[in-house]
Structure 1
C-alpha cells in the first residue's frame, strides 16, 4: 500500500490522508464519509502505527471507493511530506565504503568509524514532492544524497538485530541535501553537521510511504539521482555497511524511537563532492533534481535562488 499526505489542488483543501493507486489517490476521510463507514485512520502515521488490523481495513475502504469512482486524479494532487510530524528524523552517516572514501578525500571525515554513526535532521527541514528548496546565495557546494528511509511502526527500545524488521512499518525516499563547505567547517570544529544539513527544505521526503509488502527486499533497490535530466548517480541499497537491524540495535540501546519516527540510511557513493568535476555538479539555482527508487517511485525537488 502507498500512503500519502496530500493537498487536492482542485479544492484548495488542507492536508488530507490518502492511499495512492496508479493515477489516482483515495481521500480516506472523504471516502469513509461518503460510504458511511468508520474512518480506519486519519493520517499516514496512524495507519502505520495503530496495529496490524488497520491496513487491511484501509485497503478494503480503498477498494470500495475505487469501485464508486471516489478518488482524486493524480494530476490534481500536491504531495506533502508523508509523515510531517515524526518525533525524530534520524540519519545514519558514513554508511557506504565508497562514500567514506569520498569524505576522507575532501577532509570531511577524520576517522574511520567501527560502529554505526548518526545525526539528526530537524523535522522542520522536511519538504515535499515538487517543492522549491532555496540555495543560500553564499553556498557554492550544495550536494545531493538520495537515501532509503525507514518508518518506525512501534516504540523501539533495546531492539535486537534479529527482531528489527518487526519494528519497521514502511519506507520512503529522502534527500539529505548538504552544504559541503559548511559541513567541512563543522568537521574541523568538531560539531556534527547541524547547520550544513538543516537549512530550510534540506530534507525532501516522500512522495509517499510504501508498506513493507510493496517490495520483496529493501536491501535490493537501486537508488538514483538525476539533475536536469542527466544521471548523476545510481547506487544499490546492498552497499550499506550497516543494515537497519544493525542501526536499530545499536542506537536503540539508549535512544527510544517512537512510532512514526524516520531513519535515513545514509548517502550513497557518487555524490557531487566525490567527483573530479565536483564544481560542475554542485546544485545551482534553476536545477531540477529527481531522486528515485528505480522503477518504483520518484521525488522531485527544484533548487531556487535566495531572494
Structure 2
C-alpha cells in the first residue's frame, strides 16, 4: 500500500465496511466490541489518522474544536506569555490552538486571519495591528467568535481585554515628577499601535497635570528594537538640554535604554524586563500580567463559542508600579515643593 492509509484501507484490513470504521474512529458506541477491536487493531497496524480538516468541511455545522491566536510577535516575551496562557485554557477546554504573528503588519494580519478562518476555527483571539478591523465583520457574520487582547480593534465590535495604559503611564510619570524631575524623556514605539498611543497620551497627561510644558524634543517615537532605543536614548542624553529621567514604553526598548543609561538618570520601564530586580539600581517597572490578559480573553472566547450572545464588553485589568530604585533616583527639583 503506497501513500497515507485511508479509511477504505482500514476497512479492508479489518474485514468491515468503511461506515463501520467511521463509527469506531468517531467514537460511536453502537459497534460490537469484537468488531470495534478489529478496527482499532487495523488502525494501529496501518497508522491511520483522520483528516480533521476534511471531516470538518464535510460537517460544517459542527465545531472544529480549534481556535486561532494571532499576536504581534510570538517571539516577544510578553506575547509568548499571552500565547502560553491562552493555550493552557484551550487545552482544558479540549481545543487546539493555531498560533501566528502579524509583526504589526496589517497585510500579514489579514493573511493569517484568512488562513485560520479557512481552517474553520471556532474563534479567534487577536492582538490587533494598526488600522481598521472592519475586514473581520464577515467572519463574525459567518459565526467566528473574536476576542481582542492587549489592544482594541477599531471598526469591530468584539470583546476586548486590555490594561489602562494611559493611566499607568500617567502614574509613572507623576512618580518621576514627585522625585524632582521636570525634563522626562520618552522612548516609544509606533503611535498608530493602540497601546503605544495610549501610553504616550498618559505621558502628556502627567506633564500637563504638573504644569510642565511637553518638549517634543524629549520624545522619540517609532522605535522597534533595543538597538534603536539605545541610539535614541544616547541622542537624548547627549543633547544640549538632556532629560534627567527616561520612560520606555515597551520591554524591548527598555533593554536598549538600559544598555546605555549612565548613573544618576531615573528610569521606568513599561513591562518587567529580565533581571530587572538584579540590576544596579534595580529597575522600577509598570507591571502587567500577560497570563491574566490571555486567560480572561480565552474564557470570554469560549463563552461566546458556547452560546453567549450578550453585548460585547471591555475588561480592563490593573497594572502595578513596582518601585525598585531606578524610578526613585532624585532629580534636580527634589525637595523644592514642586
Larger Rg: 2
Tell whether the structures are fold-level matches, with TM greater than 0.5: no
TM-score (norm 2): 0.24
Relative contact order, higher structure (CA 8 A, sep 6+):
1
Which of the two has greater strand per residue? 1
